[in-house]
């Protein structure tokens, strides 16, 4: 019995500490990853502002985290590199105003069954959230083709800030799906 409780508590702890990013990867063009040993970054100053809308602090955290992940896999950062990393994405806020569900067949105006979403005064609720997207393209500089792409999409509540720790966790989660090391 104690083992089951420990496993359930461990599962909830792991689930609660997850970065909140959904990760997707793709290999649009199959490159020869045994030839790649070096990397460089595409300059985000050359991109339109709509392609990279993180602030300067978040941008620095993202680029540092990606460089750390690449170096941990044995890649070296040089100007005449085999791989060019193009990072883009940003954060957008969305807001939706909803009224209660007073036309719901299960509507309980006296709240006898604990349905706290139904409001007898029909006052609107603001359901806001922030969504961040980080896209990392690895481009073979000799072929000028994307050989690997990692995407992280995360939703946060309206008052939840996207801090450096969450960005680093998202980058780590994206690179957990990257199976290659330098020269391998």
Predicted confidence (pLDDT) per residue in 44-66, tens digit: 666 665 677 788 888 889 999 99
Q: How far apart are CA 64 and CA 179, in angstroms?
A: 20
Question: What is the per-residue pLDDT for 19?
Answer: 45
Question: What is the per-residue pLDDT for 17?
Answer: 44
Question: What is the per-residue pLDDT for 56?
Answer: 84
Three-state secondary structure call for residue 179: coil
Q: How far apart are CA 72 and CA 76, in angstroms?
A: 10
Q: How far apart are CA 101 and CA 83, in angstroms?
A: 53
| Beta-sheet pairing, 145-157 with 21-26 | antiparallel
Question: What is the per-residue pLDDT for 122?
Answer: 53
Low-confidence ranges of the chain (pLDDT < 50): 1-19, 118
């Amino acid at each position: 019995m104690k083992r089951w409780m420990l496993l359930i508590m461990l599962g909830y702890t792991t689930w609660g500490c997850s970065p909140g990013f959904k990760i997707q990867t793709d290999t649009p063009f199959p490159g020869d990853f045994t030839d790649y040993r070096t990397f460089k970054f595409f300059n985000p100053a050359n991109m339109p502002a709509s392609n990279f809308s993180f602030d300067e602090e978040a941008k620095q955290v993202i680029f540092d985290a990606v460089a750390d992940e690449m170096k941990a896999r044995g890649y070296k950062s040089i100007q005449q590199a085999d791989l060019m990393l193009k990072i883009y994405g940003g954060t957008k806020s969305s807001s939706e105003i909803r009224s209660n569900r007073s036309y719901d067949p299960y509507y309980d105006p006296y709240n006898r069954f604990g349905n706290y979403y139904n409001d007898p005064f029909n006052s609107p609720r603001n359901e806001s959230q922030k969504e961040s997207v980080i896209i990392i393209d690895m481009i073979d500089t000799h072929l000028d083709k994307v050989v690997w792409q990692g995407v992280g999409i995360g939703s946060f509540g309206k008052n939840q800030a996207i801090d450096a720790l969450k960005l680093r966790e998202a980058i780590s989660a994206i690179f957990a799906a990257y199976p290659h090391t330098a020269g391998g």
